[in-house]
Amino acid sequence: MAKFKNLDAAQKRSRVYYIASFVIVVIVAILFAFPLYWIITGAFKSGADINSGKEIVWWPNAWVGDNFSKLMDKRSAPLFEFVIGSLTIAGPTVPAAIRWLVNSVFMSVASMLLTCLTAAMAGYALAKKRFYGRAVLFSLIVCAMALPKQVILIPLLREMNALGIFDTCWAVIFPVVGWPFGVFLLKQFAEGIPTEMVEACRIDGANEWRTFTDVMFPMIKPGVGACAIFTFINSWNDYFMQLVMLPSNKKMTIALGIATLQGESSTDYGLLMAGAALASVPIIIVFLVFQKYFTKGITMGAVKG
C-alpha cells in the first residue's frame, strides 16, 4: 500500500515536471521563431510602423509592398549572362534582386549536383573497395572536416586568381565540391548496403560502372538526398565564401546583396527585411519540404565510423 502511494507521488511529480518543461519549451521556441516572424512582418510594414520607437508594432497596421518595390527598383541587371569566348549572351533586364536570386540558385544547384555525383562515387569506393592508401585518404578527409574553411581563405583566393576564375561563380562552387562532408556522409550510407549485393552484381557480369549506377546508387538514394539538401542549403547561405570570392557586383548573390543593402542604408530596416525575406523564405520552403531527408542526413553524418 505504502509503495503504491509513493508511486502516485512520483507520478504526480513527473507529471508536474512534464507540464512545466512543456511550457518552458514553448516559450523558448517562440523566442527562437521570433526573428523569422520579425523578418516577414517587417518586410510588409510601412516606414511609420518600423520607426515607431517606443510603440512596438507587433502586427503591421497595414500590409504594404513599399519595401519590396524599393528593393526591386533599386538597380537592374540582365536575368542571366553567359560568356563564351568573346560572345556574351544576356537575358532580359530585370530588377537586380531577381538576378541575385538567379545567381544564388545557380551556384547552389551546381554545387549540389557536382557534390552529389563526386561524393556518391567516392563514398562508394571508400566503403566497398579495398585499395592502397584508403586509410590515409580517409583520415585526411576526417581531418579536413574538422578544419574551419576560413583558415584556407587566403591561399584559396590566390589560387583562384592564378586559375583565372576569381570573381566567377566557379570560385564559390569548387571549394564546396572539394569539401569532404558529403563523401563522409555517403560512405556511411554505402557501408550500410550489404556487400553481397555488390558481389552478386559482379558475378552476374556487370562492370564496375554498371554496378555503381544500377545497384549502389539506387540503394544510397536517401543518402544522396540528404547530401543534396545539405549542400544546397549550405551553399545558399555560404556568405563568407561569396563575400571573399565575388568582389565585383556582377555575380552578386542574394546573401551578398542584402549585406550590400545593409552597408548602403543601414537604417532602412524595412528594405533590409524585404531583402532578408527574399533570401530566407525560398530556402526555408526547401527545408520544410525535404525535412525528413535533412534530419536523416544530420544524424547519419554524426555516426562516427
Partner 1 sequence: MANKTVKVSKTTRRLVVHENIAAYLFMLPFLVFFVMFVLYPMFMCVYTSFFDANMGVADDVFIGFDNYKELFNDPIFWKGLWNTLIIVLVSVPVTCVFSLWVASAITKMPVAATSAFRCIFYLPVVTGSVAVTVVWKWMFSKFNGIINAMGTSMGLLDKNIDWLGDERFALACIILILLTTSVGQPIVLYVSALDNVDKSLVEAAEVDGATPKQAFWKIKWPQMMPTTLYILVITTINSFQCFALIQLLTSGGPNNSTMTIMYYIYYNAFKLYRYGYGNAMGVILALIIALLSAVQFKVGQEK
Nearer to partner 1, 66 or 159 (CB): 159
C-alpha to C-alpha distance for 225 and 158, rounded to whole angstroms: 33
Q: Nearest Cα to 43, choosing from 284, 287, 288, 280? A: 280
- Binding piece for partner 1, criterion CB under 8 A, among 80-88, 90-98, 191-199, 236-244: 236-244
- DSSP summary character for residue 81: E
Amino acid at 231: T
Q: Interaction with partner 1 in 282-301: which residues (CB under 8 A)?
A: 283-284, 287-288, 291, 295, 298-299
73: Cβ–Cβ under 8 A, 6 or more apart, which residues? 95
The grid cell for 215 is: 545497384
> Interface residues for partner 1 in 65-84 (CB under 8 A)?
none
Give the residue, chosen from 8, 9, 16, 22, that forms a contact with partner 1 under the rule CB under 8 A.
Answer: 22
DSSP at 216: I
Task: Kindly state whether residue 149 participates in binding partner 1, applying the rule CB under 8 A.
Answer: yes
- Where in 1-20 is the site for partner 1 (CB under 8 A)? 10, 14, 18
Identify the burial level of 243 via C-beta atoms within 10 angstroms of its C-beta, where 0-12 means exposed, 13-18 middle and 19 or more buried: middle
Interface region with partner 1, contact rule CB under 8 A, candidates 84-92, 175-183, 191-199, 218-226: 175-183
Member of 39, 97, 102, 198 binding partner 1 (CB under 8 A) = 39
One character per residue 252-271, x = contact with partner 1 (rule: CB under 8 A): ---x--xx--x---xx-x--
User: Helices H, strands E: what count in the chain?
Assistant: 16, 4
Please, which residues bridge with residue 88 across strands?
A: 83
Shortest reach from residue 232's CB to partner 1, in Å: 11
Binding to partner 1 (CB under 8 A) within 83-122 occurs at: 114, 117-119, 121-122
